[in-house]
Chain A
Amino acid sequence: MAGTIETYGRKIEDLARAQGLDFYPVQFEEVPDSFMMEVAVYGLPVRMPHWSFGVRYIYQLIQHRMGHSRLFEVVFPGNPGRAYLAKGNSVQENTLVVAHVLGHADFSKHNELFRRSQQEVGYRIVDQAAGHARQIAAAMEEHGQERVEQILDAALALEAHIDAFKGLRRERYPEFVEEQLIDDDTFRQRFHRLPGDERPAPQHEPKKRASLPLQPERDLLWFIAQYAPDLEGWERDIFLAVREESFYFYPVFACQIMNEGWASYWHARLLREADFIPQNEYLDAIKTHSDVVRPHAADRQASLSINPYHLGFCMWESIIDNLGMEKAMQIRAQDDDFGFIRNYLTAELAEELKLFRYKASNDGAVEVVDREINALRDAILAPKYSFGAPAIAVRHVEADGTLHLVHEHGTDGRGLDFKRSEKVLDYLHRVWRRPVKLDTVDARGEGRTLRTPAE
């Protein structure tokens, strides 16, 4: 007789702890497929309302109906963690999912990026996001759907534009700057104290108003929330709510390969060692495993994308085989995907996994370029920097209040899509309430400034 998910779940958990995994408690909940699908769309079980989620929802619904995607689990880090299992799954599938979730739970408790994010954002993101949703629903009640939507149009469009390294809670810039004294640094001070080199006491210059921002500012959500000239309190709160969720999403995004790989490694290992699961059920579960971590659809010769579960899984296996479990635990605590891929995706492993770099022309032609390891790492990581969004910073707020943005096209290698960018500037303009302009380059690399309102 097949065991229940409860009995298997507890045993898997004991096994995981015995193997050295360490995690906060996880609350599991079985939910219908429709719920799983919504979580995939919103990224969180209850999230603020916005029409753009409706569009994604319909695509997801269509894909789901056509059988393109199947969602086994979603897990939210925290203390306690939350995990949702699809009700339609078999016991074997869910046993595997529980093992997988515990891998994630261990990862998110120990990984530095996750730890910092949870310290800042909090350990109950599911409840916090639901709180934001309520807050926004209340704002709609009070200020009308249109006005709230206007704020969300802008804030959600800038979702990716945070500066994860400057942190969630930041002070406003100082209003005045001291005149920069050259002999600020200790070496110069000591030099000047040498005998015979008396120098006049530094004169205190009048304070100078700081330019805004002091340096180019990448955290657009923060900057607008802090410095938009006419933003009301409740509007600022919405901006900050969106920003907080972005800070929550950042480690999930920046550690995807590591995290999914780690969870896949552990579900495979825990199942292998779970002698309480009958042989036939084990085979069913392991079949699910190979479906999840297969490199690409079986009927295809090659895939133009890399399955992060498969890549991560193979990398962790190789790390644990070659460097040992202790080192692996250390890597999962300290790295993100950038360090992980650069340091541990070796040429041999890449060859074994048959990774390649390709070139896709806009006429539809796709050609395999090479298997050179450094180029390959770059190609894997390129779409991962700051949520894969273009590098845009606030350059300056002009005397008339104009918000001057700049696209660092050198970093991105090419200019922006004008049509979409202008639309985003429109969203911003309705929130900034002064002119907004953005420097970028056109197809030939010539400078181009987009403005709203157009001149």
Chain B
Amino acid sequence: MEHPSTFAGCREADQDWYDLFSRGARDWLRHNEKVRRAVRDKLPEVLANADVLGGDRSRTVKVPVRFLEHCRFRLRDADEMLGAGQGDVKPGDQLAAPGQQQGDDQGEGGNNEGGVQLLLELKIDDIVEWLWEELQLPNLQSKTGATQDDDYRREGWSRRGVRSRLDRRRSLKESLKRRAVDPDGPAFTDEDLRFRQLVMRRQPATQAVVFFAMDVSSSMRDRDRQLAKTFFFWVVEGLRRQYARLELVFIAHTVKAWEFDESEFFQVRGSGGTVASSAFSLVRDTIAGRYDPARYNIYLFYGSDGENFKDDHEAAEASLREIATLASFVGYVETPATEERALDSETGGIFRTVADEGRAVGSYALTTNESVWDAIRAFFREHVAAEAG
């Protein structure tokens, strides 16, 4: 029997439209976009759980997230499920013992995550951006006032100058003006040339120094350091938006204070008692020696569990007051043992006294990961308020 051939042959090459893009990859990217947004909605938890202060200064945070599940109606898991299998067994045989995971031939991939985890890489800049949106804060403005820099800036035009500062647009304009009056004149003359002119002017300072001081006496636990560290990190990232140059100084203290570099700072472990004034004095001396308050915006953050020698009260208060008069903002983060007694401590009292004198001083209690988020929020709100005031 004659019949038209079914087997039209294997087409290829002429129809490789599917090579142009991958639908799977497209939908996968869309999934990731949704995850990103879900993460953003839960930023506090993410911030708190992510180890944002990894050793390297990469500008991203890696956050482990679960895949989104597109839900369907499904029966609840039963205590016992019946199924059909195939193989050389007899009734009563135990194919798996309690507690043992079942083999991988249980159905197809489906919604089973199969141990795959998505590591979402978030840009720290994006997180800070979200943070700003969430707080509904205006972008911080560089403040003008006490802190000033002298620098050259462009201002006006001159008829003479070096070639690199020639303003072609402006020069052409001059040429057109001249030729409007004298249509037969040459295209360009030396008289047409205009050069950008630089002058020395006072400008608002765009640099800042942030002091992080921390009590590393034996009463500070690892958890306390971790909380303080997370807080410090986000504060720096927030301030980076404001200043072109940001310098960081790390100071740890027990009864004495030392300056450390960043990598060592969070590892430092001291023993013995706590004399806060030692740290404050070192901050004050460092400012005097290296950071002219006329040219730097100064920030101090001090982390402690709130304990301090009673005898140190006056010295600590006095040196803190001195710093507060120079600084744009002073923050105190306390990691109290219990939430109830938060900020109701010896050190807390010192900061409160100075704050009550009208200085830009804020105090924050860090008890849980979530409270870090609250503290960051509170800091930026107060900071903006202090700027405005």
Contacts and interface: CB of A to CB of B under 8 A. Distances in A.
B31 A54 contact: yes
B109 to A, nearest CB: 4
A5 B24 contact: no
Contact of A415 (B34, B71, B75): B75
A112 interface: no
B19 A364 contact: no
Contact of A295 (B67, B75, B86): B86
A114 B67 CA distance: 35
B102 A418 contact: no
A156 B83 CA distance: 27
B24 A57 contact: yes
A302 interface: yes
A371 B80 CA distance: 18
Interface string B5-37: 111111110010011001111111111101000
Contacts of B67: 55, 58
Contacts of B23: 38, 42, 46-47, 49, 53
Given A49-B23, A295-B86, A364-B102, A55 B70 contact: yes
Nearest to B1: A17
B105 interface: yes
B169 interface: no
A369 B92 CA distance: 6
B44 to A, nearest CB: 23
A167 B15 CA distance: 35
Contacts of A353: 86
B93 interface: yes
Contact of B76 (A46, A157, A302, A416): A416
Interface in A394-425: 407, 412-418, 420-421, 423-424
A32 B24 CA distance: 14
Contact of B109 (A35, A63, A420, A424): A63
Contacts of A392: 73
Contact of A356 (B84, B97, B116): B84
A3 B359 CA distance: 90
A414 B12 CA distance: 50
A51 B1 CA distance: 50
B72 A160 contact: yes
B81 interface: yes
Contact of B99 (A10, A31, A47, A363): A363
Contacts of B18: 31, 35, 38, 45-46
**Interface of chain A, main secondary structure:** mixed
A68 to B, nearest CB: 8
A414 B24 contact: no
A360 B102 contact: yes
B10 A30 contact: yes
Interface string A84-126: 0101000000000010001000000000000000000000000
B72 A418 contact: no
Interface string A1-41: 00001100110110001000001111111111011011001
Contacts of B109: 56, 59-60, 63
B80 A360 contact: yes
Contacts of A87: 12
A102 to B, nearest CB: 8
B114 A38 contact: no
Contact-residue bracket for chain A: 35 or more
B76 A414 contact: yes
Contacts of A295: 86-87
Interface stretch (A178-186, A187-195, A273-281, A304-312): A304-312
Interface string B38-81: 00000000000000000000000000000111111111111111
Contacts of A13: 5-7
Contacts of B95: 302, 304, 358, 366-368
Given A30-B12, A49-B23, A52-B70, A361 B79 contact: yes
B82 interface: yes
B91 A51 contact: no
Contacts, number: 285
Contact of B30 (A34, A45, A47, A54): A54
A17 B3 contact: yes
B82 A53 contact: no
Interface string B86-110: 1111111111111111111111010
Given A58-B116, A420-B74, A365 B98 contact: yes
Contacts of A32: 19
Contacts of A296: 86-87, 105
Given A366-B94, A367-B93, A51 B7 contact: no
Nearest to B70: A52
Given A301-B88, A367-B93, A29 B30 contact: no
Contacts of A12: 7
A153 interface: yes
Contacts of B138: none
Contacts of A302: 85-89, 95
A362 B77 contact: yes
Given A17-B3, A49-B26, A62-B114, A29 B10 contact: yes
A359 B76 contact: no
Contacts of A58: 24, 28, 67, 116
B4 interface: yes
A63 B8 CA distance: 33
A376 B82 CA distance: 10
A266 B86 CA distance: 23
A356 B82 contact: no
A251 interface: no
Contact of B72 (A145, A307, A311, A389): A389
Nearest to A32: B19
Given A365-B97, A417-B76, A417-B77, A305 B107 contact: yes
Given A57-B27, A364-B96, A416-B73, 7 more contacts: A6-B7, A42-B24, A56-B109, A361-B98, A364-B102, A424-B72, A427-B71
15 contacts: A5-B10, A9-B9, A10-B5, A28-B9, A41-B24, A49-B26, A53-B27, A55-B67, A153-B70, A303-B86, A359-B81, A370-B91, A414-B78, A416-B75, A417-B74
Interface of A: 5-6, 9-10, 12-13, 17, 23-32, 34-35, 37-38, 41-42, 45-47, 49-63, 68, 85, 87, 98, 102, 145, 153, 156-157, 159-161, 295-297, 300-307, 310-311, 353-371, 376, 379-380, 382, 389-390, 392, 407, 412-418, 420-421, 423-424, 427, 443
Closest 4 pairs (CB-CB, A-B): A302-B87, A57-B24, A54-B27, A52-B70
